[in-house]
Structure 1
Amino acid sequence: MSCQLTIDCLNEIFENLDDKKTLHSLSTAILSTLVACLSNESKELLFKNEIFISTPTSKPPLFNYPAFCKVLSIDNIYLIIGETTPIFTALRLKDRSDLVVNEVVKMFLTQISSLKKLTFYTYITVPNDFFVAIDCLTDLSELHCSSELPPEFFYHLSKICHNLHSLIIDIHCFYRNSENYGLNELISSQNNLKFLDLSATNDGHWIDIIPTLTKHSNTLNTLTKLHLFSERNYLPVSFIALFPNLQEIRFLYIPLTEGFQFRDFEELQNVTFPKLKYLAIPVSCTKPKYFIKFLENNGKNLENFYLEESDHALKLSIAKFCPNLKNLSISLENSELDTLRIIFISCQYLESIEILCGSYWLKEKEVLETIAKYSPKNFYKLKINSCSHSELLPEDLESFFISWKNRTPLALIIIDGNKYFNEENEENINIIKKYINLEELVAEEELTLEETSTTKTIKGWIGSPIGT
């Protein structure tokens, strides 16, 4: 019988993991348990290399913990080993870490009957016998990996693993089709790939992968989610036109100082994705006129739209071409309050909105007033990101909550970019507490104040005043 900790227990554990000493102790305990599960052959290998790691007991563990694993992160194993300080004397730091990681990973791969998710970004010196034990990856459904991994890893995986649903690849600078043929082999061997995430970092690119993607008929028909991230200028994106069943497209990159990131986006403006429901577009992606045309062809079925672009005509086109939106993230300048009103009037299925507020952008007060007056009847979630010190006053909140009476309870999230706590925040929290309807409270979004070094976040579900 499996045993699971309750959410309360888990929360209590993680709330108390608030210092490096505690985390280090936890990592040490995990490593000791993992070493106790190693085979005698692996333990002897570590001993011969003068790597001494204490175990909780001299007896074998009561449970074969690795055999129960369905999700494996080699990177987390590497971090756990790197955070501990066992007595190493014979090898250099990297060599000893690699040796321990290899033995622990081999243990998992030989003990696990069927792994579902594997995360493998960290480059380690992989021994020859590492690939002998990857039969447990036959039914792997999710792989997070780096193009820096040895070609043999991808090649061996391509021979046994044909049913990946999600493939997330970090493509580094020295990736070349001729040098890492195994990755293309893995992609072309998939029968039912649904989600592909390509992140081009350190001058990496996905150009060499495109022919494999576009020539593989299975991927062309099965892919429904595509995420593209680039640190490099002008990587092509027009190839996505060949995936007719895409339901989600997300672009993300580091913006250029001038010009547009995707020069070939013009080729996408007339392409129709009949099933597209989720779209995320960063700033300076392409010329706004191309994207407006893209929305004209694809906005009708959109339900989730995340827009960073500042072009006014593009924002207005949301109201014109996206009538079925449910979730919207947008930045509106202080002169664009009317645009927010038009969007609410036109998008009558809108349920939530995330909006940027601050000195250059709309003020929190006018956002609240507009939402109270024009938001659709099913609207239930508001997230305000204040890029500067919040100017929201307690009386503004009070007025908003009074106007919201008898409507659907609202999930309110306010992120204050000002890192210093002030009296207004405390007064605002008191106002929110006053208007919490306990009967409508949702456990995962209770009223909280979360503080980091740069932001404060107030969360709460708001209904009618208590006692009314």
Structure 2
Amino acid sequence: MPQFYVDYLIEIFEHLEKDKNTLYSCLLVNRLWCEISVRILWTDIINYNTLFTCLPNESKKILHENGISILNSKPPMFNYASFCKFLSIDDINCNIRKLIKKQLPFPYHNLKNKTHVVSQEILKLLMSQNFSLKELYITTSRLSTAFTSYPEAKDCLKNLSELCCYPNLNTEFFTQLSEICHNIQRLKLSFEKDISNGLTDLISTQKNLKELEITHVSNKELKDLILLEKLPDTLDNLLICGRNHYMSLSFIAKLTNLKELRLAFFNNDCFEDFKKLQYITFSQLQLLKFIEVSPRNDYLIKFLENNGRNLKEFYIENFLIYTGCSYAYHVTLLKSYVKKIF
């Protein structure tokens, strides 16, 4: 089989990554199509019972001791664990917990500990494959430090491009990540409790951060966050979901390379820092979106006078005000819009 033919198939199948039904059909065509499509299907873990068959005997014994029976005793057709590129520690915990509850009689004694033990065996398996992880989702403090402490963590995480986590995870977890991962491009943070000191180190070591998503889910105000002052100027896409909670927006003034800015607050008072931001120039800004309420009209109009030249899309309260017009026309249209609704 010519290699160029195989390369073409791989490229085509990669475009079908989200079309699981088609990829499942490709499994049945022939051996080559099966080998290619199964790698793409298993970039996410799709079946834990199948994954269990890949475990070494020592780990299978631990599973048995913690209430999980491996339903399929046949040797696996492929080394499925080596194909994983996207990993959610929370999903692993959740799925393991469900499997244990199905196989254990009620009441579920030591369910939390059993789930933790079995999840660790799955992580050990994945790390032992020297796979290169692209996306990591983790909000579970108990497994965070263990995950980065494995000897294989350095090779596994060095090409990580997306991280979704709670900022209150163990400081050691973020410190270890900052020593390994320097090329995270997309970062999602859900602020719930206290913020780990190690997160600042992680952010300051990133060389190519492009997208940042901040969700504020606690009742604690976020003022003068040092970690946000450490954001690199490579950032071009920012989403903040602050809801009813105030958080300082002054750090945005340093992000002059922004191309997309989305802000979601339920209270106009949360835009207090727009008094300063209205005078900052974001010469590359193409999309501006206020998902709920928006800043004071005079602040907003001044902001658009400074930054409307390259703006392609503008939304107020999720309503598309304009797309593709000149900034002068845009400001005039906004003034007219403001008069109508106020």
SS at 1:62 equivalent: coil
CA deviation map 1:1-49 (0-9, x unaligned): 6885794834999xxxxxxxxxxxxxx982211211222222222333x
Partner Cα distance (1:34, 1:272) in 2? 52
- Partner of 2:311 in structure 1? 302
Per the TM alignment, residue 111 of structure 1 is displaced from its structure 2 partner at its CA by: 1.5
Candidates 241, 248, 254, aligned match of 1:229: 241
Shift of 1:260: 2.4
Q: Does the 8 A contact of 2:294 with 2:316 survive in 1?
A: no
Cα deviation for residue 71 of structure 1 reads: 1.5
Is 1:147 aligned to residue 167 of structure 2? yes
Distance 1:323 1:122 in 2: 49
Q: Equivalents in 2 of 1:110, 1:204: separation in Å?
A: 40
**Residues 184-238 of structure 1 deviation map (CA, whole Å, 9 limit, x = unaligned):** 1111111111111111112255546x4334346xx1x211111111135321112
SS at match of 2:310: coil
Is 1:321 the counterpart of 2:340 in the alignment? no
Q: Distance in 2 between matches of 1:120 and 1:42?
A: 23
1:53/1:86 contact within 8 Å kept: no
Q: In the alignment, residue 238 of structure 2 is paired with which amino acid?
A: L
> Which residue in the other structure is 1:194 paired with?
210
In structure 1, the residue corresponding to 2:270 is in which secondary structure? coil
Partner of 1:45: 62
Q: Partner residue of 1:95?
A: 113
Q: Which residue of 1 aligns with 2:40?
A: none
Pick closer, same or farther for the CA change 1:129–1:225 going to 2, 3 Å: closer
Deviations 1:61-110, CA, capped at 9 Å, x for gaps: 12111111121122222232233334347842222222222221232222
Partner of 1:65: 80
Q: What letter corresponds to residue 107 of structure 1 in structure 2?
A: L
Residue 114 of structure 1: aligned partner: 132
Deviation at 1:322, TM superposition (A): 6.2
Aligned to 2:50: 33
2:312 aligned with 1:293, yes or no? Answer: no
- Within-5 A mapping of 1:190-339: 190-204=206-220, 206-207=222-223, 210-215=225-230, 219=232, 221-253=233-265, 255-256=266-267, 259-308=268-317, 321=327
- Secondary structure at the counterpart of residue 215 of structure 2: strand
For the 8 Å contact 1:110–1:134, the answer to whether it is kept is no
State which drifts further: 63-72 or 259-268: 259-268
Whole-angstrom CA distance in 2 between matches of 1:137 and 1:206? 30
Preserved CA contact (<8 Å) 2:166 2:191: yes
Q: How much does 1:247 deviate?
A: 0.7
Give yes or no for contact 1:205–1:232 (8 Å, CA) kept in 2.
no
Q: Unpaired runs of 5+ in structure 1? A: 14-27, 326-331, 340-468
Q: Distance in 2 between matches of 1:164 and 1:47?
A: 38
Instruction: Label 1:306 to 1:53 Cα distance change in 2 as closer, same or farther (>3 A).
Output: farther
Q: Is the 8 A contact 2:145 2:172 kept in 1?
A: no
Report the equivalent of 2:42.
none
Distance 2:20 2:83 in 1: 23
In structure 1, what is the Cα distance between the partners aligned to 2:185 and 2:55? 31
* TM-score of the two chains, using structure 1 as the length reference: 0.57
Q: Which residue in 1 is equivalent to 2:34? A: none
Corresponding residue for 1:16? none
Q: Aligned-pair distance for 1:320?
A: 7.1
User: Greater Rg, structure 1 or structure 2?
Assistant: 1
| Deviation at residue 307 of structure 1 after TM alignment | 1.6
CA distance in 2, matches of 1:304, 1:195: 18
Supply the distance in 1 between the matched residues of 2:174 and 2:61 (Cα, whole angstroms).
30
Q: Pick from 47, 59, 72: which aligns with 1:56?
A: 72
SS in 2 for 1:106: helix
Quick one: structure 1 residues 9 and 128, their matched pair in 2 at CA, closer, same or farther if it must change by over 3 Å? Answer: closer
Structure 2 unaligned regions, length at least 5 = 1-5, 26-44, 332-336
CA contact (8 A) 2:157 2:181 kept: yes
Shift, 1:112, TM fit: 4.0
Q: Structure 1 pair 234/167, CA: closer, same or farther in 2 (3 Å)?
A: same
- Cα distance change on mapping 1:149 and 1:39 into 2, 3 Å: farther
Q: How far did 1:131 drift?
A: 1.7
CA distance in 2, matches of 1:73, 1:162: 20
Report the secondary structure of 1:305's partner residue.
strand
Report whether the alignment pairs 1:78 with 2:87: no
Question: 2: CA distance between counterparts of 1:235 and 1:131?
Answer: 33
2:310 is aligned with what amino acid?
N
Conserved? CA contact 1:174–1:204, under 8 Å: no
Q: Which structure has more RCO (C-alpha within 8 Å, separation ≥ 6)?
A: 2
For 1:105 and 1:183, the matched residues in 2 are separated by 23
TM-score (norm 2): 0.76
**Could you tell me how far apart the structure 1 residues matched to 2:294 and 2:192 are?**
22
Q: State the shift of 1:302 in Å.
A: 0.8
More deviation, 156-165/3-12: 3-12
Alpha-carbon RMSD across the aligned residues, in angstroms, is 3.5
Equivalent residue for 2:153? 134
- SS where residue 98 of structure 1 aligns? helix
